Structure 1
Amino acid sequence: MAMWVFGYGSLIWKAGFNFDERLTGSIKGSTDHRGTTEFPGRTVTLEPAEGEVCWGAAYKITKKEDQEIALTHLEVREKQYDKKAYVDFFTEPMAATPAVSGVMVYIASPDKKANVNYLGPASIEDIAKQIVRAEGPSGPNRDYLFQLEKALLQIGCKDEHVIGLANEVRRILSESKQPFA
């Protein structure tokens, strides 16, 4: 039996596990590890939001061994998320019928006790300043943001929030003469 995993954020461009098929599309009812304790990074976190859409990629994994390896990998990689959900995945924006049902996705609750990494909402300016400062074991937080912007555009998603945030980070970096993508 095949297992499907929905990837958003860096999972769009870097799955890190073997898969048999990759579809791009979205899940509905959602909005959109590069930092330190002192300067936490910002990454995409899904939260329930009626009428919203999150774009990404769904990965089909059929071999039992590949499924076990993928789950082990994801349990480490997505450890900051305190919940899993099984959702419908759509390849067409206006489709009423999902392309795949029962796609596993990692999500985070805004409960700071259950999810200590949840940073919560903030203005574009505040998020951008935080991203400029943050760097962790996976690299600079700004690299994550610029890669996310590029990956979303490559799958046909023009996310105004991500684009606006990337432009604000570029503005801050250009004012401080720091290198950026």
Structure 2
Amino acid sequence: MVFWVFGYGSLVWNPGFEYDDKMIGYIKNYRRVFDLACIDHRGTPEHPARTCTLEYKEGATCWGAVFCVRGDEEKERLAMAYLENRECEYDQKTTVDFFKDGAIDEPTLSGVIVFTSTPDKESNKYYLGPAPLEDMANQIATAFGPCGNNRDYVFSLEKAMFDIGHEDDLVIELANEVRKVLGITGLGIPKENSSSNRLTGPPLKPKSPMSPHKLLRLPEAISMDT
């Protein structure tokens, strides 16, 4: 038995489950947005965090990592149970084509799972919707929950995308805006130079080697990865 799951948020740097294979690559026609509330990991019901989701946009690409779980039924069950508990804000699963780094025309894998959620505030209580960059940064700078604070989620995602060589412009802009709110300058060192509050982030943004292509539309859904 085997299944593949695509990660584009915290799964990229912290999958948290036993897997047998990993590849860097992308899915087509989706982009990251920070429109999803997190109330039990990086935030609370009173002060929700903002975590990334995916929204449909024709011609976009979303880079991340795909993980393979291969083995017996029990191994697959345990991995999926872990993911469903971790991705508790989702309301459905979607399957997509995955393209390995360097692939363009033909998908490397089909039927890859991503955890998805409908972009509707009435049917999905976790959907926050878009907001101005400054408002999102202020919310992220102050939100925290049992698994840590919201700002570290954004900074870790920024670094993770830097490490795989495919940074996301929105993640960079949002991380820099959060640094402004926190009074962080340069390489992410607070003005007060407090070692307990020291946060890091990559100072440079390499260009992705991939250029846009005309792409086929995938099922309309918001994918999420908290």
More strand by share: 2
Whole-angstrom distance in 1 between the partners of 2:174 and 2:11: 19
Whole-angstrom distance in 2 between the partners of 1:129 and 1:35: 13
Task: Please give the per-residue CA displacement for 1:94-116, whole angstroms capped at 9, x wherever unaligned.
Answer: 60111111100001211123321
Larger radius of gyration: 2
Whole-angstrom distance in 2 between the partners of 1:180 and 1:30: 33
The Cα of 1:158 is off from its aligned counterpart by 1.7
| 1:135 to 2:144 alignment | yes
- 1:135-154 equivalences under 5 Å are 135-154=144-163
Q: Which has the higher contact order (CA 8 A, sep 6+)?
A: 2
Secondary structure in 2 matching 1:4: strand
Whole-angstrom distance in 2 between the partners of 1:61 and 1:71: 9
Secondary structure in 1 matching 2:78: helix
- Superposed CA RMSD in Å reads 1.7
Whole-angstrom distance in 2 between the partners of 1:120 and 1:94: 32
Whole-angstrom distance in 2 between the partners of 1:180 and 1:38: 26
Q: Give % identity.
A: 50
| 1:101 to 2:146 alignment | no
The Cα of 1:54 is off from its aligned counterpart by 1.4
Note the residue ranges of structure 1 that are not aligned, 5 or more in a row: none
- What residue is the counterpart of 2:100 in the other structure? 91
Note the residue ranges of structure 2 that are not aligned, 5 or more in a row: 33-40, 185-190, 200-226
- What residue is the counterpart of 1:22 in the other structure? 22
| 1:123 to 2:132 alignment | yes
The Cα of 1:48 is off from its aligned counterpart by 2.1
TM value normalised by structure 2: 0.76
Count of aligned positions: 181
More helix by share: 1
| 1:63 to 2:71 alignment | yes
Whole-angstrom distance in 2 between the partners of 1:78 and 1:155: 23
Whole-angstrom distance in 2 between the partners of 1:180 and 1:170: 11
